[in-house]
Amino acid sequence: MINENNNISYGNKDKKNNTQIINQNFIDNKNINFTVTPWEVKGDIDYNKLIEKFGTFEITTNIIEQFKKITGEIHPFLKNKYFFSHRDLDWILKEYQNGNKFYLYTGRGPSGLIHLGHLMPWLFTKYIQDKFNVKLLFQLTDDEKFLFNDKNDLEMIDIFTYENVLDIIAIGFDSAKTNIIIDTKHINYLYPISLEIAKRITFSTAKSVFGFSNSSNIGMIGFPPIQSAPCFLPSVIEKKPTPVLIPAAIDQDPYWRITRDIAEKIGYYKPAQIHSKFIPGLINNGKMSSSKPDSALFTKDDPELIEKKVKNTFTGGQPTVSLQRKLGGNADICPVYWYLKYLFDNEEESIQRYNNCKGGSLLCGDCKNDLIKDVKPFIKDIQRKREKAKDMIKEFMIDGKDLGHKDKK
């Protein structure tokens, strides 16, 4: 709806002024011992507290029912609350039902290879693209990864950009409805919009939301509007205000907060979000992270390496078999249990696994073997599709051009 001042407004709201939500280092807060920012996720994350802190909304059974009316089913990621939080999801679904289609927008910072954690929001994005028959913008923030880490050089990031594009295509997005934007190559599509955004965000806001300081390089400070810009590109492409839904893990939320705060001022809808939890790392209590290769299962890992990593995984089990039989394990803290729950077990199998682990009849070795059995063919299938993707790159690029990468075949 556009009001008489030509500003867009609609029913949904933000719980707080988003820019008041300071860059969250929860370590110092009472009863909170985790950190979630776009660049760091660590500690034992309490997702309910995160909803409260970030001022987002829980995905309720009403919203899930709204989804079901359109899709005819409930996706496991909604049922098992892997996607747990949102902003304006109910509004996006209502608009869709009234014939106002949304665009999907998601992305990747190409600083390394792709692991199972990255795949989660993308698998769900593909599902929504298929079920709702909607277009997708997929941004690769190679500039972000160059600016935010002193060790990253542009040549290395260019190689990972190419590798990551193969993974994105391998997910199976519809090339006719998907455009990939690589910031350093396609900045002309984003730059005018990012200027409109940048002009309306003060340094003081950027500091409080992202934690920038006097020692942050000025490229970092100028970056956030580039990640915000694809939220509004659909409106430019369609030549009318167009809703956008962003599926991502909740670490990216600070970007959407600043974007939502300025959207209506420049005549666009606030972007809606659906936030996921994190897939935990194999060896630590943080998220699966490409900067810690032993913590992650990558799409390029060979079967032997997958087996080795899973066998060495930290679990919620007891130190010995007899203690496990006697005391039972702790599935709640076990990454093996979570990977199986989110990616491979159905609801019934997962409940059974949980109870058998707790009751001591299931040993960690059994769960590890189940995971190895499931994850090996899953990754092999992606590897096969990555090979095919090498010939499909230009179909996906927003400018219709190939990447001309040396390692093409």
Q: What does the longest C-alpha to C-alpha distance in the chain come to?
A: 73
**Which residues between 341 and 400 bind ligand TYM (CB under 6 A)?**
none
Chain position carrying tokens 């542009």:
154
List 51, 120, 197, 310, residue binding ligand TYM (CB under 6 A): 120
Among 75, 121, 201, 243, binds ligand TYM (CB under 6 A): 121
Label the pairing between strands 83-87 and 272-276: antiparallel
Q: State the Cα–Cα distance between residues 351 and 1, nearest whole angstrom.
A: 45
CB of 213 to ligand TYM, least distance (A): 20
d(CA 162, CA 404): 9
Adjacent-strand bridge partners of 280: 287
Q: Of 14 and 40, which has the nearer Cβ to ligand TYM?
A: 40
Hey, what are 253's tokens?
């939320």
Give yes or no for residue 126 binding ligand TYM (CB under 6 A). no
- Burial label for 74, CB within 10 Å (0-12, 13-18, 19+), is middle
Q: How far is it, in rounded angstroms, from Cα 220 to Cα 191?
A: 16
Near ligand TYM in 252-271, by CB under 6 A: 252
Choose the stretch contacting ligand TYM; rule: CB under 6 A; options: 57-65, 117-125, 318-326, 394-402. Answer: 117-125
Q: Does 108 contact ligand TYM by CB under 6 A?
A: yes
d(CA 206, CA 216) in angstroms, rounded, equals 11
224 binds ligand TYM (CB under 6 A): no
Contact flag: residue 107 with ligand TYM (CB under 6 A): yes
**What is 33-92 written as a DSSP string?**
-EEE-SS-EEE---HHHHHHHHT-EE--HHHHHHHHHHHSS--HHHHTTSEEEEESHHHH
Residue 273 CB, shortest distance to ligand TYM, in Å, is: 9
**Does residue 83 touch ligand TYM according to CB under 6 A?**
no
Min dist. Cβ of residue 82 to ligand TYM (A): 9
- Number of alpha carbons in the 13 Å side-chain half-sphere of residue 157: 23
The interface mask with ligand TYM, positions 287-326, x = CB under 6 A, is xx--------------------------------------
DSSP annotation of 290 reads T
Binders of ligand TYM: how many residues, by CB under 6 A? 24
Q: How far apart are CA 268 and CA 110, in angstroms?
A: 28
For β-strands 272-276 and 244-249, DSSP reports them as parallel
Closer CB to ligand TYM, residue 141 or residue 178?
Answer: 141
User: What HEC string does 236-288 produce?
Assistant: HHHCCCCCEEEEEEHHHHHHHHHHHHHHHHHCCCCCEEEEECCCECCCCCCEC
* Of 160, 278, 338, 396, the one binding ligand TYM by CB under 6 A: 278
Closer residue to ligand TYM, CB minimum distance, 137 or 363: 137
We find the least distance from the C-beta atom of residue 180 to ligand TYM, in angstroms, to be 11
Please state the closest distance from residue 335 (CB atom) to ligand TYM, in A: 10
Q: Binding marks (x or -) toward ligand TYM, 182..221, rule CB under 6 A?
A: ----------------------------------------
Please select the residue that binds ligand TYM; options are 34, 103, 117, 331, rule is CB under 6 A: 117
**Cβ closest to ligand TYM, residue 259 vs residue 324:** 259
User: What proportions of the chain, in percent to the nearest 5, are helix, strand and coil?
Assistant: 55, 10, 35
179 touching ligand TYM, by CB under 6 A: no
Q: Is 147 in the site for ligand TYM (CB under 6 A)?
A: no
SS (H, E, C) 338-358: HHHHHHHCCHHHHHHHHHHHH
Please tell me what DSSP assigns to residue 292. Answer: S
CB of 287 to ligand TYM, least distance (A): 3
Region from 55-63, 232-240, 244-252, 262-270 binding ligand TYM, contact rule CB under 6 A: 244-252
Give whichever of 287 and 368 is closer to ligand TYM, judged by the CB atom: 287
Residues forming the site for ligand TYM (CB under 6 A): 38, 105-109, 117-118, 120-121, 139, 141, 144, 227, 246, 248-249, 251-252, 276, 278-279, 287-288
